[in-house]
Structure 1
Amino acid sequence: MASINLLLVVLGIAVLVVAWLPSFLKDYPLSYPTIVVGLGMAIYLFDVPLPEPDPLQYTAITTHLSELCVIIALTGTGLKIDRPFSFKNWRMPLRLVTWAMILTIGAMALVAWYGVGLHPASALLLAASLAPTDPVLAGDVQVGDPGEGGEDNVRFALTGEAGLNDGLAFPFVYGAIALLPAEMPLSERFWNWLAMDVLYRVGVGVLAGWLSGKLLAALIFRLPEKISLKASANGFVVLAVTLTTYGATELVKGYGFLAVFVAAITLRSYERTHEYHRHMHDFSDQIERIFIVILLLLFGGAIAYGLLASLTWPDALLGLTLLLVIRPLAGLVSLAGTPSVRSERWVITFFGIRGIGSFFYLSFGLEKADFPEADRLWAILGFVVLISIVIHGILATPVMKKLDQQHIPPHS
């Protein structure tokens, strides 16, 4: 009982940190995720009797906690984008989630395979887990709340990318599973992967998200005209949008992450200036922060418990290469010819923040199949996420301030 009560105290303090610190830190080069991770490390270093934070031992719990956090974040991310969807308006994030992500995964997998000796399947799983940018921890470099306006190229590109690539990285996770030894010939596994995991699941994810967004928009905005609904129910609607869309899409084997974001974008396009969008976004943001607290505390605890014990110097160099070389170069190549200036492209390519989504993909892959050197994969991924949280958290505020001072108008 004492440990439960202590856990409640720790969670309460962490929730206050997440609730208040963003306002205090908005003018300083420090992010609240860094502080929460540090808090988790400190608590577990003092051997406080709390749940053991071992993602290898509790793979299913890690998968589902991070899964819930990501899908709620994806809904909030889609709702706060003011720019209407079109291939022209969205060409920058679309290039980032296609060319940049494919180049990043390919380069990362090759370096992990040839450079540090990971098994090809493990190398691809690690690359697929680390390639997506995170919709959860990237708030400092994303667009503001619904209707605020001023969506510059940098914030819009990073927000759109974070929303889309959490679904489009999934085929590569399944591709890593297909590379593991199996009775089925590799060529047959490839064609099954292409047909099912790429074409079918992506297509169903987009279609289900669009249909769900249309249906839910009609209910949300037309039902109150006929029935008097309490204002207190407004926030819970966002949970209905998130859980219904995700669950229904997963039932028909589509990519639920992709569907949730598409549904949020579709919903946002309906009555675009309606204040209801802000209510739904605010509620999703509050729920998301509760999951962030739990996951970051456990992440800090996992580091204190030895998550990085299997990390070698070549592994650490691999992680830094991803953050400082592979991602920036892939981003610059993909953004060539887009209506953005050089400083914008550099900022976009540098702030490829890794976080909760990477936790999900790796735990999901390890839950589905037996990958070689799982502890080493967690060590590399944990190192990359930790470095990303610290470096990007320190630089986000001053860099975005500098960018804002240039008064670069947004391009349509």
Structure 2
Amino acid sequence: MLDWEADPYIVVMTGSGLLIALVAWLPLALRRLWISLPIVCLVIGGVVFNLPRIGTNVSPVDFPVITERVTELVVIIALMGAGLKIDRIFKFSDWQVTWRLLGITMPLGILAITVLGMNLLNLSVFGALLLAACLAPTDPVLASDVQVGPPHEGGEDTVRFALTSEAGLNDGLAFPFVHLAIVLSAVLATGEPWLVHWTGYYLIWKILAGIFCGWVVGQVFGWLTFKMPGDSLARTGDGLIAIAATFVSYGVSELLQGYGFLGVFITALALRQVHHDHDFHRDMHDITEQVERLVMMVLLLMFGGALAAGLLRDVGWVEVTAAVVILLVIRPLTGLVAMIGIKATLSEKLVISFFGIRGVGSFYYLAYGLNHGEFLEANRLWTIVALVVVLSILIHGLAVTPIMHWVDRLQGRDPDAEGAVPPPGLQGPAAPNNHEEQ
């Protein structure tokens, strides 16, 4: 007979064990189903956090600092994993699709969502700009299903490369617009000049500092890992080195007042380039992905609990309309505009434009903006962002398996063949480690 009055420590330990088991098993069970891991996490969270003996308030609205820190942790780990995945050697001309998505799709998306927020949602210009900065970048955490597979896996097609590199870089490059909303909200009452300071510091210095710090840390860790005389770190076989590089890169970038998100992704790219073909990259990627999935699942369970407790209670048709327009009109159209002139098939362009997944990164930016700025519409902004993320999880989560299988078949791969490598990302992390046998 269960002891419902048991020590909370024992209850937490039991629940943690079950969660870790789910982290390992659920992706395997969902491999061929038209349902994603985040959808399952939301449902489980909604049930668990509303049980009579467990029910508690986990709304991000009431815990803004904790929300900012937890989402920050998940994003930086995901950025390291995304950078380590990319097999393509960095060459400016070979990353044209990425530059288009960053330089065209994201700015156009910020502009369009700002206009939408002011006119349809009746937000202030500062609130609308913050909303746009939160929802314009794609998410490196929940977008794992459409990203490239582990290092050396092969099959790095245009679609998966574009979505991986975009998610890795646009999180850092959206930050200037978050700060623009914060700066404008702060100077409204004072009337102080802001343009020169925002351009010089938030737009130029922090981007360049993030890139520089990320590259330096990547070079240092690359030398320590692969080229240091004697006992290099790669000989340990311990992929935790990637987590160390993540924290050091983020910390150094932030200490030098650069964008840490940008720094972490650049560190991962630099680390890959030091010894591009070394098998140890797979070990670093694997431990990074495991930690990312564990923390991500905890966060999504709590988000599911917040949804069940009424986070979306104030949603009306206006908010639903805005969310649908953001996901199914603004992102696809701005993505297709960026794809003009790119050497890719129409099907590839359509898939890249469609999968503008929103998720944990949007939560981080909103929490950060509200914690550092003066916004009177905080609760409404949380409602809208949460709604967009929920719809993105449902729409993209249900579409990812059939669409990515369709893309694979168009490129001559059969994802359902016997012995085929599972789809990369959160639906297939249990892929066999074939690269060591080749």
Task: Tell me which interval the TM-score lies in, with the shorter structure as reference length.
Answer: over 0.9
Measured after TM superposition, the shift of residue 272 of structure 1 is: 0.7
- Partner of 2:142: helix, strand, or coil? coil
Is 2:69 aligned against 1:64?
A: yes
Query: Given residue 268 of structure 2, which amino acid in structure 1 is its aligned partner?
Result: A
- 2:393 maps to a residue whose letter is I
What does 1:359-398 correspond to in 2, within 5 Å?
A: 359-398=363-402
**Which of 126, 129, 133 does residue 131 from structure 2 map onto?**
126
TM superposition score normalised by structure 2: 0.90
- Select which of 291, 295, 298 maps to 1:291: 295
Instruction: State which of 195, 207, 211 in structure 2 corresponds to 1:206.
Output: 211
Is residue 2:340 matched to residue 1:336? yes
Q: How much does 1:232 deviate?
A: 5.5
Paired with 1:44 and 1:342, the residues of 2 have a C-alpha distance of: 44
Matches of 2:146 and 2:29, distance apart in 1: 17
Quote the residue 1:253 is aligned against. Answer: 257
Select which of 347, 352, 355 maps to 1:348.
352
How has the CA–CA distance of structure 1 residues 47 and 330 changed in structure 2, closer, same or farther, with 3 Å as cutoff?
A: farther
1:358 is aligned to 2:358: no
- Within the candidate set 174, 177, 200, 1:172 is matched to 177
Match of 1:353, SS state, is: coil
In structure 2, relative to structure 1, the CA distance for the partners of 1:252 and 1:400 (3 Å cut) is: same
SS at match of 1:272: coil
Q: 1:369 Cα deviation (Å)?
A: 1.6
1:369–1:392 distance in 2 versus 1, CA, 3 Å = same
**Correspondent of 1:92 among 84, 97, 100:** 97
1:217 to 213, 216, 222: 222
Q: 1:13 aligns with which of 18, 21, 29?
A: 18
Answer yes or no: is the 8 Å Cα contact 1:14–1:36 preserved in 2. no
1:263 — aligned with what?
Answer: 267
The answer for the alignment partner of 2:114 in structure 1 is: 109
Cα offset, 1:42, TM superposition: 1.1
1:185 matched to 2:191? The reply is yes
Larger helix percent: 1
> Paired residue for 2:404, among 382, 385, 400?
400
Q: Is the 8 A contact 1:33 1:137 kept in 2?
A: yes
State the distance in 1 between where 2:52 and 2:382 align: 22
> Of the candidates 243, 247, 266, which is equivalent to residue 247 of structure 2?
243
- Where 2:94 maps in the other structure, the secondary structure is coil
Structure 2 alignment gaps of length 5 or more: 1-5, 414-438
TM-score by length of 1: 0.95
Alignment correspondent of 2:434: none
| Alpha-carbon contact 2:331-2:354 (below 8 Å) kept | yes
Residue 274 of structure 1 is matched in structure 2 by: 278
Amino acid at match of 1:407: Q
Do residues 313 (structure 1) and 323 (structure 2) align?
no
User: 1:242-278, CA deviations, whole angstroms, 9 ceiling, x for partnerless residues?
Assistant: 0000001101110000000001001111111101100
**Could you tell me whether the CA contact under 8 Å between 1:308 and 1:379 is conserved in 2?**
yes
Any idea what SS the aligned residue of 2:305 has?
helix
Which deviates the most, 286-295 or 18-27?
A: 18-27
In structure 1, C-alpha distance between the alignment counterparts of 2:160 and 2:53, rounded to whole Å = 40
CA contact (8 A) 1:122 1:377 kept: yes
1:36 aligns with 2:33: no
- Tell me the distance in 1 between the aligned counterparts of 2:314 and 2:374: 18
Deviation, 1:185, is 2.8
Q: Distance in 1 between matches of 2:380 and 2:177?
A: 19
Gaps of 5+ in 1: none
Q: CA–CA distance in 2 between the matches of 1:207 and 1:408?
A: 40
Deviations 1:300-322 (A, max 9, x none): 01111111122221111111100
Counting aligned pairs with the same residue, the percent is 44
Q: Which amino acid aligns with 1:389?
A: I
Q: Does 1:155 align with 2:160?
A: yes
CA distance in 1, matches of 2:183, 2:118: 16
**What letter matches 1:357 in structure 2?**
G
